[in-house]
Amino acid sequence: MEICNATTEREAPCLSHDLFEKAMRGQWTEVVEIYKEDEESRVAVLTASRDTALHLAVSGGRAKEVKQMVESLGEKVSEILWLKNAKGNTALHTAAELGDAYMCKRIASKVPDLITNCNEQNATPLFLAALFGHQEAFLCLHFLCKGNPLDAGSRKPNGDTFLHVALQGEFFSLAFQIVRKYPELAKDRNEDGFTPLHILATKPNAFKSSCRLGLFDRIIYWCK
């Protein structure tokens, strides 16, 4: 991971370098203290991928530090949590991709609108949780979401919804939860004309337990 050399008016190169070095050395207690005391540290870009200290804390699985950092933001919490890296990922996108429900809750509970925000690949945090089969994180974000996540239009370029991708990944328990909570997705077709039922029919492992047969029955029911 390279240190980003490009700076803006809001970035302090020395501060960015110091934070990056401490994070890479695992000196998170010091990173958190700087983050709490220096507002510039919260917006400083630390890497070539334009990650902030919070992005790095999340990607490193530093749940305790993430909680401390988020709680320190006060009235700036929305502004900071909306910061994106070069891929258009907020810290919540990163937490959802990792499947860390605790970090998802700490972030999304502060700014629920982040749950339906798309990155550069048109993926919301909710979609990423489904894509990587993270059921606990998915359900956490679902329950915290204030609006209809389907309105965000989060799909893969070929039109796959988060039900399609859960089935493709053979995350059948998660797919069952998705169908229960978003039954309208059972009829949704991707650009190849495939519904989730078509995807399920190509998965022989889907028919090896009563739970998965229940998934099949539920999709058929909602396709009627």
Which range among 116-120, 153-157, 211-215 shows the weakest confidence by mean pLDDT?
A: 211-215
> Per the domain annotation, does 149 fall within a domain?
no
- Answer whether 125's CB lies under 8 Å from 138's CB: no
> Per the domain annotation, does 142 fall within a domain?
no
pLDDT at 31: 97
> Per the domain annotation, does 68 fall within a domain?
no
> Per the domain annotation, does 44 fall within a domain?
no
Q: State pTM to two decimals.
A: 0.86
pLDDT at 134: 98
Q: How would residue 186 be classed by pLDDT, with cut points 50, 70 and 90?
A: confident
* Confidence check: pLDDT of 87 > 70: yes
Q: What is the pLDDT of residues 17-59, one digit of tens each?
A: 899 999 999 999 999 999 999 999 999 999 999 999 999 999 9
> Per the domain annotation, does 78 fall within a domain?
no
Range of the domain at 190: 155-224
> Per the domain annotation, does 90 fall within a domain?
no
15, two tokens: 């501060």
The total domain count for the chain is 1
Q: What is the CATH number of the domain that holds 196?
A: 1.25.40
- Answer whether 125's CB lies under 8 Å from 96's CB: yes
> Per the domain annotation, does 13 fall within a domain?
no
> Per the domain annotation, does 111 fall within a domain?
no
* Side chain identity, residue 81: L
